[in-house]
Homo-oligomer: A and B are copies of this chain.
Amino acid sequence: MKTMQDAVGDLDRMSRTIRESDYDAVVAVSPENVNYISDVFVSTQVDIRDRLALIVWDGERAPTFILCAVEEGYVRQESWITDIRTYKEFVTSPVTVLADALCDLGLEQSRIGIELDYLGARYLTALTGLLPSLDVAPCEDLFAKVRMIKSPREREIMTQAFRGTEQALMETFQAAQPGITERDMCYGLSDRILRSGAESVAFSHINAGPNTGFPHMDPSDYELRPGDILKADTGGYYSRYYSNVGRTAKLGKLNDVDRSWWGRLREIHHAVVDMLRPGNAGRELFEAATRLHEKHDIPFPYAHNGHGIGLQLHEYPLISPHDHTVYEPGMMSTVETRVRWPGEVGYHMEDLVEITDGAPVIRSDYFDNEEILVVDA
């Protein structure tokens, strides 16, 4: 029998945060927060969006899981949550079951935090129609705050996820040769990401030559030529956590232009990575990155320079001018450093960094990109 302690995320911190909040209970609604608490991924929550899955938790008593009856079987097997209440699709509304559960828990007149960014407006209207004394408030920040700090198990999953993707990408670059297409590279990359342990490929922007000048171009029929820069921004889902790796290679020898851009980008990259220490905020890293790009005469027209990552591709904190969150040990952030000239060429690197008590640690350390990877043309 699974217990709360078996969960991948840190549910002790989650329950404590709920207890210490000014909510009497919270309702998780989004796939990532339902997954975080229950430790089960209800895939239809994503694919068949009306099939709501909800968790009510006051942080004290056992949580209540509300889901479509179709999903009950494996959820009972896989989750540590035992209070499972189901609705029959097209017959009972999930909101009715939620309202009943809140009443059973004595919460019908309480202050309830709900993910109001995610919960469709129509469902909220129905809920407040059934329970007019309910005091509903948004609670995205509570979940984001807890999930920002990764548990040891989450850090392990993410480290393996990034390394698997790095290896897949390195082998794909090494297999590149003149005449194959971007699409061929993409097939090889996707296959290797799956074989590295991913449930699925999340995105695979892998390009060559002039197409490297675009940020997120789909792989095309462009045929690789000797001297082409190869560039990828790619990721998979591993145990429901995202990887997101950026790397650059060259089909042929490096020239002085490559070395000059790459050398300056590496310098900026290392300096930003080194600022991922307790006490600093994303805002400060972004400002430093702005100055560093200016110093090295590299354009910097981006909205962010790296991001938290986990059950979602972009999590907090962000390395952005608007994020005041102070880094703490146990957080994980990507740092992405890049330069692009659309239709000409682009260079890109993106790493996963763990914030510790001391110096930050790059966890995406399988495919070292200190120099641009050279592939024989």
Contacts and interface: CB of A to CB of B under 8 A. Distances in A.
Given A187-B195, A191-B191, A194-B187, A49 B120 contact: no
Nearest to A51: B314
Interface string A215-233: 0101000000000000000
Contacts of A218: 199
Nearest to A188: B191
Interface in A299-329: 303, 312-314, 320, 322
A258 to B, nearest CB: 26
Interface in A104-119: 114, 116-119
Interface string A6-50: 000000000000000000000000100000000000010001111
A269 to B, nearest CB: 22
Contact of A303 (B43, B90, B190, B313): B90
B122 A138 contact: yes
A70 interface: yes
Contacts of A257: none
B191 A90 contact: no
A1 interface: no
A194 B186 CA distance: 9
A49 B118 contact: yes
A241 to B, nearest CB: 14
Interface in A123-149: 123-125, 138
Nearest to A89: B303
Contact of A119 (B121, B190, B203, B322): B121
A194 B193 CA distance: 13
Contacts of A320: 90
Contact of A49 (B70, B117, B201): B117
A151 interface: no
Nearest to A322: B90
Contact of A313 (B48, B70, B90): B48
A201 B124 CA distance: 33
A211 to B, nearest CB: 13
B199 A201 contact: no
Contacts of A201: 200-201
Interface in A267-297: none
Nearest to A218: B199
Nearest to A235: B47
A53 to B, nearest CB: 15
A191 B199 contact: no
Contacts of A89: 303
Nearest to A199: B218
A312 B46 CA distance: 11
B122 A313 contact: no
A303 B68 CA distance: 11
A194 B199 contact: no
Interface of A: 30, 43, 47-50, 70, 88-91, 114, 116-125, 138, 186-187, 190-191, 194-195, 199-203, 216, 218, 303, 312-314, 320, 322
Given A48-B313, A200-B201, 13 more contacts: A43-B203, A47-B202, A50-B117, A89-B303, A90-B303, A90-B322, A116-B121, A116-B125, A117-B122, A118-B120, A119-B120, A120-B121, A190-B194
5 contacts: A70-B303, A114-B121, A122-B138, A190-B190, A190-B194
